[in-house]
């Protein structure tokens, strides 16, 4: 009996020792990973222009995170952190501040690339290259792997939190918006982790125990405990290549929103492994012009079968359409009311809802360029979108409203922001001889004439 009790004690001690050794190994791996990535960690302070009350406001209060990933000084961060920044101030792991600029960004995946001023670095460290973090891989990540979120949560620079991967293919929907209004999340699933991600962590790296970047932290759920999401690094690499090559990412669209099949296979009477459901068709889009309708089941694209039973499979389908050449013709096999048909569709360039914005001080208003997506949404051919008016300014007195689309100034068309700015400049130049300007504005699909008085 004594021998059996003794043996049991030894088993417990052995298990305790093994557990302690494993914990010690994890601690050591965390420390080693921190040493590899922390020097390349960046605190990002963007200087942006916002437009409020018909006026331009320069702000620089927000803080995000980033990570240096090339020896040339390129920094990865989120689009919602610095995508619209006019300039960027970066605080490195050495606690030194260096200026940066935006190389390009992609709101659809909420990614942006910055360029540090290497001359500033060389003045501080003439004999040392910039610290660089290594980009790893995300395709083979497994639920339960230990990871670290690094960044500046709540402005607290050089912070590390530890957790695990809790899901490797979380889909958050195709209608999410960034704070600046752009749509995001259409083309990617997310790495879900319980490593604490808070405001300020955005743009920082999600790091493996090997000390490699396996994701870029992007968002957290405010009402959820320990729910954070990162863009998988495999997608990051694809996006970054285009940004470094061209400054932006080019994609095609046919103008549909898709829905997973799940339990609808029996309703359609088709093989459960084939097809993706059309949930909505955008007005004036290539899909609408081709005759696609909500409720259609797309079975194939150019003869290649499509399948999306679950929501996390939808980004793959969206990406297939996105990779098609712009303005190219393709054949869709569609099932409608039990009958299969072939439909030809011509792709067009995918654009965002949000265009470039400008302040016109002489008129007391701010306007935004219309993107193709917004033209379809508003069902208007061209013009500039009014985003605000200055209290007491000429535009407010002329009863302009946010959401108006300015089509003509003094009888001349203003199809885009450049044309509108030139028209405004001309009116201000001649305001002493022509004090009132006639402006045609589209509102609620009606065209109204407004009188802008430039001189009282």
- As annotated, the active-site residues are 80, 110, 202
- Look up residue 202 and give its two tokens: 């955005």
Residue 242 near residue 249 (C-beta atoms within 8 A):
yes
Q: 52: Cβ–Cβ under 8 A, 6 or more apart, which residues?
A: 388
Rounded distance between C-alpha atoms, residue 172 and residue 231, angstroms: 12
CB 406 within 8 A of CB 380: no
* Distances from the Cα of 198 to the Cα of 8, 150, 158, 203, angstroms: 46, 11, 13, 11
Would you give the DSSP letter of residue 275? B
Rounded Cα–Cα distance for residues 235 and 240 (Å) = 9
Give the count of beta carbons closer than 10 Å to the beta carbon of residue 324: 19
Instruction: Tell me which residue has tokens 């407004």.
Output: 450
- Helix, strand, or coil (residue 113): strand
For the stretch 422-455, what's the b/e string if a residue is b when 16 or more beta carbons lie within 10 angstroms of its beta carbon? ebbeebeeebeeeeebebbbbeeeeeeebebebe
Helices (H) and strands (E) in the chain, counts: 10, 31
What is the secondary structure of 184-236 as a DSSP string? E-SS--EEEE-S---TT-TTPEEEETTSEEEEEEEEE-TTSTT-EEEEEHHHH
Coil, helix or strand at residue 81: helix
CA-to-CA separations, 97 to 78, 89, 296, 395, in angstroms, rounded: 19, 7, 55, 42
């Amino acid at each position: 009996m004594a021998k059996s009790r003794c043996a049991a004690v030894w088993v417990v001690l052995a298990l305790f020792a093994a557990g302690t050794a494993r914990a010690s190994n994890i601690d050591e791996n965390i420390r080693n990973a921190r040493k590899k990535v922390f020097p390349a960690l960046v605190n990002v302070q963007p200087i942006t222009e916002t437009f409020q009350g018909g006026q331009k406001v320069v702000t620089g209060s927000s803080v995000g995170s980033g990570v240096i990933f090339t020896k040339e000084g390129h920094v990865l961060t989120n689009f919602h952190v610095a995508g619209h920044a006019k300039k960027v101030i970066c605080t490195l792991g050495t606690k030194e501040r260096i200026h940066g600029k935006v190389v390009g960004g992609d709101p659809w995946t909420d990614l942006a690339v910055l360029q540090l001023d290497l001359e500033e670095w060389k003045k501080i460290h003439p004999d040392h290259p910039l610290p660089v973090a290594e980009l790893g891989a995300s395709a083979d990540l497994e639920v339960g792997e230990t990871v670290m979120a690094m960044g500046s949560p709540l402005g607290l620079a050089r912070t590390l939190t530890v957790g695990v991967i809790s899901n490797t293919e979380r889909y958050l929907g195709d209608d999410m918006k960034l704070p600046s209004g752009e749509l995001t999340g259409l083309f990617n699933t997310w790495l879900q982790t319980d490593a604490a991600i808070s405001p300020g962590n955005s743009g920082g790296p999600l790091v493996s125990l090997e000390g490699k970047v396996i994701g870029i932290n992007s968002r957290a759920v405010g009402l959820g405990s320990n729910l954070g999401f990162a863009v998988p690094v495999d997608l990051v690499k694809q996006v970054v290549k285009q940004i470094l090559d061209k400054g932006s990412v080019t994609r095609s669209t046919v103008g549909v929103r898709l829905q997973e099949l799940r339990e609808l296979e029996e309703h359609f009477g088709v093989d459960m492994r084939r097809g993706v459901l059309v949930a909505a068709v955008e007005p004036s889009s290539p899909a609408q012009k081709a005759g696609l309708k909500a409720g259609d089941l797309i079975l194939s694209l150019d003869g290649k079968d499509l399948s999306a039973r679950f929501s996390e499979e939808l980004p793959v389908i969206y990406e297939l359409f996105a990779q098609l050449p712009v303005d190219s013709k393709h054949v869709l096999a569609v099932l409608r009311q039990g009958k299969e048909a072939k439909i030809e569709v011509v792709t067009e360039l995918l654009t965002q809802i949000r265009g470039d914005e400008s302040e016109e001080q002489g008129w007391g208003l701010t306007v935004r360029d219309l993107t193709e997506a917004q033209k379809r949404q508003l069902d208007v051919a061209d013009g500039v979108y009014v985003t605000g008016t200055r209290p007491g300014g000429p535009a407010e007195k002329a009863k302009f409203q946010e959401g108006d689309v300015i089509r003509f100034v003094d009888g001349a068309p203003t199809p885009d922001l450049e044309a509108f700015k030139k028209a405004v400049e001309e009116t201000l130049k001649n305001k002493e001889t022509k004090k009132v300007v006639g402006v045609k504005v589209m509102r609620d699909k009606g065209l109204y004439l407004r009188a802008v008085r430039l001189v009282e």
